[in-house]
Structure 1
Amino acid sequence: MTSMTRRHFSALAAAALWPLSGLGQGKDDTLVMRAIPSSGERLPAVGLGTAVVFNNDDAKIRETAAQILRTLLDKGGRLVDTASTYGDAELVLGHAMPAAASRDKFFVATKLESPDSAELERSLTRLATRRVDLLQLHNVRHPEQSLAQFRTWKTQGVCRYVGITSTSERAYGAVESVLRREKPDFVQIDYSLDNREVEERILPLAAEVRAGVLTALPFGRGRLFRAVRGKSLPEWSTDFAESWAQFFLKYLLGDERVTAVIPGTSDPAHMADNLGAMRGRLPDAAERKRMVAFVRGL
């Protein structure tokens, strides 16, 4: 959904955005990396989300996915996030990752709807692997949900990290309960410049229990691109953002509690643009407040 909206937006704005980017020339080329709190392992701060964009498995989508994955690696990224319920996304990735590079180049995260061995086996088969880097309990809804089986799988070497996810504010109470009790390695939550509830509820708790944070829906389900359609970047932001995508992503990365953002895309050029948010400086606290005020005024 996000990528489709952005595609229409980019058709109108590409002429303004790409010349502005200048391919990052003359700017600090150091990648933004974030440490996973539970281990200290450092992870590139921009990854790839696969919801919707790889729903159907065919030769064309596999090749596009391979191009996107090559771009991800070429521009310094590693993280790929998917789920058992994302249509054929796991299957597409299972074919596309070997076409792009060796499996160990990627940090692979997937999600299960329940601690079910059959669901896990299906995901591993579709991903063409016997282990993933991060295994997440998807769509946490109940405060008593347990990660005991996920921890068993971690001990067995099926995954290196365990986590929980939600993209529904109605579930934040359950997320808080599970996060506080289970202390997972990661929490994945919806967070965007126009959807900031997690700043008061989830991010402080994640920091307290030393959970890494992945941000789903960082473009607000396409709302942000629709809001700025036909508009130029504000002049005061061009020192740190070279496109609207980077403007939106760098707001999130400006909070050091965020480990990585995972925007979805089916376009290699958009993947490259997103990854540009890992380069150059991040907005400071005053600039982030200004970004919030700017979006409120749209």
Structure 2
Amino acid sequence: MEYRSLGGARVPIIGMGTFRSFDVSSETDIESRRKIIANCVETGATFIDSSPMYGRSEQVVGRTAMGQQANLQFATKVWTRGRRQGEAQIEQSFELMKADHIDVFQIHNLLDWQTHLETLERLKDEGRISVIGITHYTTSALPEMMRIMRSRRIGSVQVPYNVGDLASTEEMLPLAEELGIGVIVMEPLGQGRFLRQLRRQPSVEPLKEFGLNTWAQALLAWVVSDRRVSVAIPATSRPERIIENAQAGDAGHLTQDVRDYIREETMRCL
């Protein structure tokens, strides 16, 4: 697994998101998530992203990662208004994830970012977090995110980027590269759209020389072959999918011709 810089931290290029997939409560589902975490450690896809917005996700991550924290990198977010509310939510995240240190702490969807940024800067000074980040899922938020990036007070951004959403490539990714800011990619598979909604199956035959045997792997390799990306975080509820996803991180650099093929073939088959 290749590692890249994320605001000064070193992270694997394939990690895991937990939106919806870790908001579970049954013992059967908890055991499945424990296997997912074990597979993350085994394959090197050790960057785990969560949020208070994701229901029970932080709690389930904390429970299923018990004994493995030293082998994982945790990222989560603050998602509330007000200084006291933010501080309380941040402390709750540490408790739920059973972590003394959280590698990346982000301001979710820029909610009350001016207030929370000061709190996170203090926590970074105290050594409780390593990287401060911001996130948003809409194109309309990119200009404000770039203004914050230019302040040089953050080390990472999290945005969508996939074969069907190139908005971040126009200005944000070049700016991140210029400023040395890490990029976490949400929705690298378009929330599964580019797999579930295919009307016909794209051919992976030209991609097998890169070790890519499924279209999910092709889509992930397409994202992380852009070296401005630090880590892509597809979510999954299936333990075996972690192994498949991690293999996409071993594909190496894809030429522009290969990237064009993956994007064009996806669009053709939708």
| Conserved? CA contact 1:134–1:160, under 8 Å | yes
The corresponding residue for 1:194 is 164
| Conserved? CA contact 1:143–1:175, under 8 Å | no
Matches within 5 A, 1:42-53: 42-53=10-21
| Conserved? CA contact 2:24–2:30, under 8 Å | no
Structure 2 residue corresponding to 1:109, chosen from 69, 75, 80? 75
In 1: Cα distance, 2:15 partner to 2:217 partner:
13
Does residue 167 (structure 1) correspond to residue 167 (structure 2)? The answer is no
Structure 2: which 5+ residue stretches go unaligned? Answer: none
RMSD: 1.9
State the TM-score, normalized to the length of structure 2.
Answer: 0.91
Matches within 5 A, 1:119-268: 119-140=89-110, 147-228=117-198, 230-240=200-210, 241-268=212-239
Q: CA deviation at 1:235?
A: 2.6
Structure 1: which 5+ residue stretches go unaligned? Answer: 1-30
| 1:239 partner letter | E
State the TM-score, normalized to the length of structure 1.
Answer: 0.83
CA deviation vs aligned residue, 1:41-82 (integer Å, no higher than 9, x gap): 432111110000111333222211110011011112210000
Structure 2 residue corresponding to 1:87, chosen from 47, 55, 58? 55
Q: CA deviation at 1:183?
A: 4.0
Q: CA deviation at 1:237?
A: 2.2
In 1: Cα distance, 2:261 partner to 2:111 partner:
34
| 2:182 partner letter | G
CA deviation vs aligned residue, 1:4-47 (integer Å, no higher than 9, x gap): xxxxxxxxxxxxxxxxxxxxxxxxxxx222123x42x4321111
Q: CA deviation at 1:239?
A: 2.0
| Conserved? CA contact 2:177–2:228, under 8 Å | yes
In 2: Cα distance, 1:168 partner to 1:130 partner:
32
Q: CA deviation at 1:184?
A: 1.2
Structure 1 residues 145 and 251, CA gap change in structure 2 (3 angstroms): farther
My pick for the range that moved more, 251-260 or 101-110, is: 101-110
Structure 2 residue corresponding to 1:72, chosen from 31, 35, 40? 40
Q: CA deviation at 1:182?
A: 3.9
CA deviation vs aligned residue, 1:157-202 (integer Å, no higher than 9, x gap): 2211111111111211221111222441111111111111111121
Secondary structure at the counterpart of residue 62 of structure 1: helix
Q: CA deviation at 1:212?
A: 0.7
| 1:167 partner letter | Y
Q: Percent identity?
A: 26
| Conserved? CA contact 1:93–1:127, under 8 Å | yes
| Conserved? CA contact 1:141–1:171, under 8 Å | no
| 1:120 partner letter | I
| Conserved? CA contact 1:215–1:261, under 8 Å | yes
Q: CA deviation at 1:145?
A: 6.9
Structure 1 residues 118 and 142, CA gap change in structure 2 (3 angstroms): closer
Secondary structure at the counterpart of residue 192 of structure 1: coil
In 1: Cα distance, 2:135 partner to 2:175 partner:
14
| 1:109 partner letter | A
The corresponding residue for 1:56 is 24
In 1: Cα distance, 2:36 partner to 2:98 partner:
18
Secondary structure at the counterpart of residue 239 of structure 1: helix
| Conserved? CA contact 1:80–1:106, under 8 Å | yes
